[in-house]
Amino acid sequence: MNRLTGKVVIAQGGGPTAVINQSLVGAVLEARKFSAVTRVWGARHGVRGIVAETFVDLSEATSHNLERVARTPSSALGSTRDKPDAAYCQRIFEAFRKHEVRYFFYIGGNDSSDTVRIVTEHADREGYELRALHIPKTVDNDLPITDHCPGYPSAARFVASALGGVNADLLALPGVYIAVIMGRHAGWLTAAAALARKHDDDGPHLIYLPERQFSIERYLADIERVYQQQGRCVVAISEGVWASRDGKGQAIPVTVDLLRQAGREPEVDAHGNIQLSGGALADELAAVVQKSLGIKRVRADTFGYLQRSFPGVVSAVDAREAREVGEKAAHYACGRDLSGSVVIERIGDYAVRYALADVREIAAQTRCMPDAFITTDGNGVTDAFRDYLRPLLGDDMPDLERLGAPAVEPGHD
Amino acid sequence: MNRLTGKVVIAQGGGPTAVINQSLVGAVLEARKFSAVTRVWGARHGVRGIVAETFVDLSEATSHNLERVARTPSSALGSTRDKPDAAYCQRIFEAFRKHEVRYFFYIGGNDSSDTVRIVTEHADREGYELRALHIPKTVDNDLPITDHCPGYPSAARFVASALGGVNADLLALPGVYIAVIMGRHAGWLTAAAALARKHDDDGPHLIYLPERQFSIERYLADIERVYQQQGRCVVAISEGVWASRDGKGQAIPVTVDLLRQAGREPEVDAHGNIQLSGGALADELAAVVQKSLGIKRVRADTFGYLQRSFPGVVSAVDAREAREVGEKAAHYACGRDLSGSVVIERIGDYAVRYALADVREIAAQTRCMPDAFITTDGNGVTDAFRDYLRPLLGDDMPDLERLGAPAVEPGHD
């Protein structure tokens, strides 16, 4: 039995998802049941709220309010892009000691798990007993060890649904359509577009991922081939695709090439990540098809912020699992006196169980799509990927139907 | 009782919607019940399929297939942007006479209703008995007489849902967000963003419509004011906003100004409509905020094709009404020997009844938002508009919840 008496502080970091509040509410409701937990505080805007000591008392939130928050997308506590350095961590730690915080839950992606790692190491050095849990979330699905990341299935559902609608749209009004989808280093979310395919000739016909080097010549040749065969072509492409590398061997996103051609430098966030938002990549990818292939009707959309926190497009499987990783975190920390990162293990077809991983194995790692999920041509995904993703989307995906009416033969009346 | 024996030809024109197949299926299933109807044919890709004589025999489609098609977004028969001139109409008419077509149903917007008008007048001149029905659909909601247009409520639901998610996103990670929404001449769809607001400080905080002249100086001053008050600002803006007029008094969309500044001319479709797709407007509106106001985190999305045929984001009210306008068309034509355009009349709060209007009163007209729906400042919508739209979205809109936990007071433990 756990003897470590003190407060819980829970926070949310990084980009929001449609189900990140399920994890928040799962952790809060379970943590409140442990007698060693004196209060459950939420930090406003991630680690920033810890150092600023802007807390809300989640011990006083009603269960009804929390249940409704759980079904609301985006981070209810507020989020941050701050990535603490040593001095920042010292301040986090001082806030914890001052308020007798013994349990720290941080819901986030790669950068947030790294924050948990640093704070944990700091507490160890100071000899302060702290149970620190990383609760995974990211629409990018790029954390190692865990089978998948809460938030990804719902974003994938948005992408697959969107491409289903776009494919139906292009069947009605043919042309070329290009969807630019989130994913800086890993193509998981872009790849989800493949789940829109039902009939053999359904789009997306081409999928380009940052796991493979992009070539504009190859892209044009691919589109020309599909368009000649089918009279239309639907393309899903990751915002992070790259065609060249810099002097240090780092991939340069095509978006950055385009910006630099226009005489501008890309925006860089607090973590040194290049900002890839904006419609320039989509516009350029459409313009080059019009210009080089002479196809008149070419449209491109950048899915942008819609894909990560759209209310009402949520995978029930994702919502359930996001809830449970939060609950598990509370049990590991408050019930079993453990620290680490909660991971999902896939067992059977389809079931999961939860486990605890060393946060050092998670932190600041990026898991890209394995080769087995990408076609040898590099412009599509394999059945193995479809089998991986399908159960995560829930069993109620829209199933689009084509007319089954026979063509009227010439001369027939 | 109706004595006019012959075939039905049904077709779909213009941009797809999420519920246009409800109208198709409603008309087909009802028309098949009339003994005077010998066959129900669908023309592939609108009027283009009539002159090319590419028909499918919808008399042989199973009811089960049709019911599933009804729930599928986009135009199942295919669509077209062709707008028939006199010669084209002559060919439509010859196809009708050749195949003994006596009933013509065309599901579409302004341009499609004009096609119905021309074909009807042509048949009258030729003394050929033809019942021609325009069945309204358009996400733009810009047809006159009808209270609203099937397809609009579902697209409005998408826009309002998206803005709800974006508002939650900006509460978590503050900044400025700009959504560019469909609507060339009328702001109905952009205005729907207002239905995302629940709390007084929820976005969208500013809404710009093509019913009012746009000024970049005013736009910047508005954003600066909101941002200073709230630390964030969510903007919904129509793709059709304009800041100046050409020599003939025609409004020039800001997108066109931007293209011309970049040395390019806008793409023009077969109807002479300027193509407004692409992300340039959004990118420019974001860049000017960053540059002029010095706000670092500014994001902009162009909703593009997602908003008009997204599977799974459908208003139940819209689906029901779209079905019924199709059914009504069959009853007016095949049962009561009438021609015209089906319109929706709002009665009570909220109920509707259907009526038949003269297609000449519908054709090629654009209904913009009335002054009573736009705030005097011109950067928002009124409660009257919210009251108009709310019942159309269905009673199951996502209801986003904020945390009800009290702040921890300084010094409190």
ipTM over 0.90: yes
Question: In this structure, are residues B74 and A169 in contact, taking their beta carbons and an 8 Å threshold?
Answer: yes
By C-alpha distance, the chain B residue nearest A100 is B413
Q: Do A311 and B398 touch (CB under 8 A)?
A: yes
Question: In this structure, are residues A234 and A205 in contact, taking their beta carbons and an 8 Å threshold?
Answer: yes
Mean pLDDT of chain A, nearest integer: 94
* Number of Cβ atoms within 10 Å of the Cβ of B90: 15
Q: What angle do CA B317, B320, B325 make, to 5 degrees?
A: 120
Is the pLDDT at B20 greater than 60? The verdict is: yes
pLDDT in tens, B100-132: 999 999 999 988 999 999 999 989 999 999 999
Question: In this structure, are residues B368 and B211 in contact, taking their beta carbons and an 8 Å threshold?
Answer: yes
Q: What angle do CA B77, A200, B315 make, to 5 degrees?
A: 45
Residue A246 and residue A171: Cα distance in Å, rounded? 41
- Closest to B403 (Cβ–Cβ): which among A61, A169, A306? A61
Cα distances (Å, whole numbers) of residue A319 to A26, A74, A75, A392, B21: 11, 13, 14, 10, 31
Q: What is the DSSP letter of A369?
A: P
Residue B182 and residue B140: Cα distance in Å, rounded? 8
DSSP string, B148-193: S-TTHHHHHHHHHHHHHHHHHHHHHS-SEEEEEE--SS--HHHHGG
Secondary structure class of A317 (helix, strand, coil): helix
By C-alpha distance, the chain A residue nearest B50 is A408
B283 catalytic residue (yes or no): no
Residue B328 and residue B107: Cα distance in Å, rounded? 12
Top pLDDT among A86 and B315 is at B315
> What is the pLDDT at residue B278?
79
Q: What is the DSSP letter of A331?
A: I
Residue A223, φ and ψ in degrees, nearest 5: -65, -40
By C-alpha distance, the chain B residue nearest A287 is B278
Which residues of B are less than 8 Å from A399 in CB distance?
Answer: 68
pLDDT mean over A223-243: 97
Residue A85 and residue B403: Cα distance in Å, rounded? 29
pLDDT interval class at B2 (50, 70, 90): low
Question: In this structure, are residues B319 and A408 in contact, taking their beta carbons and an 8 Å threshold?
Answer: no
- Closest to B311 (Cβ–Cβ): which among A75, A161, A300? A161
CB–CB contacts below 8 A, A to B? 249
Which residues of A are less than 8 Å from B54 in CB distance?
Answer: 407
Residue B142 and residue B151: Cα distance in Å, rounded? 11
Cα distances (Å, whole numbers) of residue A252 to A220, A236, A260, A273: 20, 19, 11, 12
pLDDT in tens, A259-275: 777 677 777 766 667 77
Q: What spatial distance separates the first Cα and last Cα of chain A, rounded to whole Å? A: 83
Q: What interhelical angle do B280-293 and B254-261 show, nearest 10?
A: 80
Q: Give A132's strand partners.
A: A104
Question: In this structure, are residues B286 and B294 in contact, taking their beta carbons and an 8 Å threshold?
Answer: no
* Number of Cβ atoms within 10 Å of the Cβ of A267: 16
Which residues of B are less than 8 Å from A80 in CB distance?
Answer: 173
Assess whether the previous peptide bond of A177 is cis (omega < 30° from 0): no
State the nearest Cα–Cα gap between A86 and chain B, in angstroms. 23
Q: Do B405 and A164 touch (CB under 8 A)?
A: no
pLDDT interval class at B25 (50, 70, 90): very high
| Dihedral sign computed on CA atoms, order B143, B148, B149, B155 | positive
> What is the pLDDT at residue B1?
52
Residue type, B43: A
**pTM for this structure?**
0.96
Q: Please, is A2 exposed, middle or buried when counting C-beta atoms within 10 Å of its C-beta (0-12, 13-18, 19+)?
A: middle
> What is the pLDDT at residue B266?
76
By C-alpha distance, the chain A residue nearest B25 is A403
Residue B253 half-sphere exposure toward CB, CA atoms < 13 A: 25
Is the pLDDT at B277 greater than 80? The verdict is: no
Reported as type and span, the H/E element at residue A206 is strand A206-208
Residue B197, φ and ψ in degrees, nearest 5: -80, 130
Q: Do A161 and B41 touch (CB under 8 A)?
A: no
Residue B130 and residue B4: Cα distance in Å, rounded? 9
Which residues of A are less than 8 Å from B280 in CB distance?
Answer: 279, 283
The separation between CA A90 and the C-alpha centre of its own chain, rounded to angstroms, equals: 29
pLDDT in tens, B35-63: 999 999 999 999 999 999 999 999 999 99
pLDDT interval class at B9 (50, 70, 90): very high
- Closest to B56 (Cβ–Cβ): which among A58, A77, A405? A405
Is the pLDDT at A58 greater than 60? The verdict is: yes
> What is the pLDDT at residue A269?
67
> What is the pLDDT at residue B83?
87
Tokens of residue B329, six digits: 């068309």
Is the pLDDT at B345 greater than 90? The verdict is: yes
* Number of Cβ atoms within 10 Å of the Cβ of B30: 22
pLDDT interval class at A312 (50, 70, 90): very high
Of A23, A60, A12, A21, the closest CA to residue A40 belongs to A60
Residue B190 and residue B152: Cα distance in Å, rounded? 11
Mean pLDDT of chain B, nearest integer: 94
pLDDT mean over A324-348: 97
pLDDT in tens, A95-137: 999 999 999 999 999 889 999 999 999 999 999 999 999 999 9
State the nearest Cα–Cα gap between B376 and chain A, in angstroms. 30
Cα distances (Å, whole numbers) of residue B413 to A40, A128, B208, B406, B407: 11, 19, 47, 13, 12
pLDDT interval class at B382 (50, 70, 90): very high
Is the pLDDT at B271 greater than 70? The verdict is: no
Q: What spatial distance separates the first Cα and last Cα of chain B, rounded to whole Å? A: 83
Tokens of residue A51, six digits: 């150092």
3-state helix, strand, coil in chain B (%, to 5): 40, 20, 40
Is the pLDDT at A1 greater than 60? The verdict is: no
> What is the pLDDT at residue A2?
52
Q: Please, is B1 exposed, middle or buried when counting C-beta atoms within 10 Å of its C-beta (0-12, 13-18, 19+)?
A: exposed
pLDDT mean over B365-380: 96
